[in-house]
A and B are shown apart, each in its own frame.
Chain A
Amino acid sequence: MPHAEMVHWWFATGFLMLGLLLLAEVVVGPEVWNRRPWRRYLWPGLVFLLGVLMWPVMTFYTNSTIHMLAHGSWAQALMLAGAAELGVARGKLHSQYWRLCSSIGLAVSGGAFLIHEQQHWLFSRAAFLHHVLGCLLIVSALFPLLQAFRPRSLTAATGFATTFLVVAILLYCDRDTAAIFGHLSQYAGAPHR
């Protein structure tokens, strides 16, 4: 079985690509982005895929009930957000308020990060990153919320895209046992590079 940190890096890679796609959409504008039909499905499909891939994480990394619930609810929220965006891209869903599903997805993801991290901030680097990621995602849920009411807001779109880039960086920083700002609990285990 791969280590938990490796799984974080794989998801970081997915989020990095997602952030780049969203950023590119912001740069070129929705008219140019939607000119080719396949491009419309790219990032919603990736969000949906990341949600699907959370299920094996839930299955194989169940350290406790709270982990299982966090990963499971996270998988569902990501799949809901991806499915709603796919529906909008396909033209089956028309309301701009479907973007609220992305907001819910981010809020649930943030909540899942915070709930399943039971250690304090400076316990280890992993604990610190889980706290930071949780808070970041909950605050970032405001961007798609804003987009639901102001779909052409450049600030909201840029914030939404940047969120995933920052999430990717934080996930790449994750190590199973490593110090954070010189702090590492004696209960965390032996550190490794």
Chain B
Amino acid sequence: MSAELVTELQAKRRGATRAATWRIRIVLVLGPLTALSGLAWALIQPYRLTLIHPHGQGFWWLFSEPPLYVVLVGILFRLLIAPGLTKDLEEQ
């Protein structure tokens, strides 16, 4: 194999590895970013969390906590979806 071809192949492999690394980073950051958004929302609009002031609230109001839903989605994505995706990207 010529040295020129080897260099070209190595450059291609490096490029693919770099792209995969960025993809892994994005996949890993999606969940925490979502959870952080929910947390920021809870801090900006604490009145959307009836759990903070539960007195006199009915079941549906205590069950409906939109900022916590966002946090939950972020956590679920990070724990259930992201690990498999990053593993498959690394294997690729």
Contacts and interface: CB of A to CB of B under 8 A. Distances in A.
Say which size band chain B's interface belongs to. 20 to 34
B55 to A, nearest CB: 16
Contacts of A27: 23, 26-27, 30
Q: Is the interface of B mostly helix, strand, loop or mixed?
A: helix
Interface residues of A, number: 26
Contacts of A35: 88
Interface string A1-44: 11100100110110011001101100111011101100100100
A132 B73 CA distance: 24
B26 A16 contact: no
B81 interface: yes
Interface string B18-48: 0000010011001100100000000000010
A28 B23 contact: yes
Interface of A: 1-3, 6, 9-10, 12-13, 16-17, 20-21, 23-24, 27-29, 31-33, 35-36, 39, 42, 172, 193
